[in-house]
Structure formats: structure tokens, C-alpha cells
Amino acid sequence: MGTIEKLNEIKYVLNQMRNMIRYMHLGEIPEFEDATDFWSELEITKADVYGILMNYDDISQLTKTKEYIWFLTSVRSKHLKNLAEKINLEDYPQMHLNYLFISHAIRLLEGYYKLITTEIE
């Protein structure tokens, strides 16, 4: 698959993810403290990802968005992973599904911007 085809496919998937995140239900706030922390961080990360997905293909915003992508991959994802390791996600199926979905969206955004910046440079 060529770069253009790959970019188009990633854009198609990101558009689908944007629509799905809009209606994503995070579930009830758990009572267990570590699970509550995870839920809160997941909610913040979901909002960050959705914000990027609203403008991800705006080239004029590329530099600013690259900083957000770096923040999502370097800070938010790692923090979510650390919090997820403190709880049994199988006890929280809705949060587990959302965690997998948001994590995958972050990886796709990161890949998209790596391809874009490689093509621009």
C-alpha cells in the first residue's frame, strides 16, 4: 500500500472514530478509588482525542497538533496504562472497551502525523 492510500485509509478510520467517540458512554463512576482515578483520566483523554479528531486534517494546525499528539502518547497514554495496571479492567467492561478504543485512536493519530510530517519534510 502506498503512502497516499495509507493516509486515506487512516483518515477514513479516524473519521469513523470521531463519530463513535462523540457517542461513547464511559459508564458509571466506580466507587473504588483507583478505578475512579482511571475513569477520570479516561474521560480527560477521551476529550483530548475528540478535540484532535475535530481538526486532525487541518494542515495549518499541524505543529500545534503534533504537540498534542506527543502529549497524548508520552503523558496521557502512559498515565492511563499505569492506572489500568492498578485495577482489573475485566471488572469494568465498559471502561475496558473505551480504554482499548481510545488507546487505538491515539496510536492511529500518532501514525497519521508521522506519515504527514514525513511527506511534508
- Model confidence at 120: pLDDT above 70: no
CA distance 43 to 110: 20
Structural domain containing residue 49? 3-120
The count of domains in the chain is 1
pLDDT computed for residue 81 by the predictor: 93
Q: What's the pLDDT tens digit per position in 2-55?
A: 778 887 888 888 889 888 988 888 777 888 889 999 999 999 999 988 888 887
- Cα 27 to Cα 31, 45, 53, 87, 92, distances in angstroms: 12, 15, 22, 16, 9
